[in-house]
Amino acid sequence: MSPSILLFYVLSTFILLSSLMVISLSNAVHSVLFLILVFCNTSGLLLLFGAEFLSLMLIIVYVGAIAVLFLFVVMMLNVKLSSSKIQNFSILPVSILVFIILFNQFKLSVESFDLIKSQQKELEWISWILESSSIINVKAIGGVLYTKYSLLFLLCGLILLIAMIGVIVLTMHQRIDVKKQKIAIQLSRKSNEVIKFVNLRK
């Protein structure tokens, strides 16, 4: 077994285990941390496939922004466990169906990866001087993203803007039961009101 195939199996196994931990843990903070681990392993898998730009963008956008945003919202809202627990038998058929679909997708990806590796019988030497004139990953993705999928790209940006505004609104609620300092009143006090003399009867 070649190192690339071994690395593919290791990263895929970590992705599956982390995904199961995301949906099975009751603590929301732990689920978000395992979601970050899923993104990191997926980034390594994309790097193994040769999509360097997508791999780095997955780390920058999802791990650096969206996952941190999820973690920020969960910690600020202080999500607690619900008292009413969901019956496991009620979601069992849906869970089995989703598991079968995901397992078939994983099996097809492994078979296609093994087929590509079996067709490549010997090493191919690449002349990077000739490859310098070809289209790189960034140009290919940009050409597709800003032409064919430009409307979807703008809609995704709008959804992220709404999510950002929602997070700001959720974290800016004012609590009435908390005593706060009023700096303006403290600074506007007079010197004769600072000390008060009281005559005590003997």
Mind listing the pLDDT tens digit for each residue in 145-198? Answer: 888 889 998 998 999 899 888 878 877 766 667 777 777 777 777 777 677 777
Structural domain includes residue 154: yes
Does 139 reside within a domain? Answer: yes
The DSSP annotation for 174-198 comes to PPSSS----HHHHHT--GGGTS---
**What CATH number is given to the structural domain containing 19?**
1.20.120.1200
Q: What pLDDT score was predicted for residue 30?
A: 85
169 domain residue, yes or no: yes
Question: Do 2 and 72 belong to one domain?
Answer: yes
96 and 139, same domain (yes or no): no
Looking at residue 83, its pLDDT comes to: 46
pLDDT band at 80 (very low <50, low <70, confident <90, very high): low
pLDDT score at 53 = 82
Residue numbers of the domain that contains 154: 134-175
The torsion angle over the Cα atoms of residues 190, 195, 196 and 197, rounded to 10 degrees, is: -140
**Range of lowest pLDDT (25-29, 87-91, 103-107, 117-121):** 117-121
| Tokens encoding 46 | 């994309």
Q: Are residues 42 and 9 in the same domain?
A: yes
Q: What's the mean pLDDT in 113-119?
A: 68
Determine the longest span between alpha carbons in the chain, in angstroms. 109
The answer to whether residue 60 sits within a structural domain is yes
In this structure, the answer to whether residues 64 and 101 fall within a common structural domain is no
Classify residue 86: in a domain, yes or no. Answer: no
Based on the domain organization, do 72 and 17 belong to the same domain?
Answer: yes
Residue 182 resides in a domain: no
- Please indicate, yes or no, whether residues 32 and 72 belong to a single structural domain of this protein: yes
Residue 129 lies in a domain: no
102 lies in the same domain as 144: no
How much is the pLDDT for 179? 74
pLDDT digits (tens, 9 = 90+) for 96-108: 898 899 888 888 8
Spatial CB neighbours of 73, under 8 Å, sequence gap ≥ 6: 167, 170
Whether 45 is covered by a domain: the verdict is yes
How many structural domains are present in the chain? 3
What's the whole-number mean pLDDT along residues 40-54? 85
Quote the pTM value: 0.54
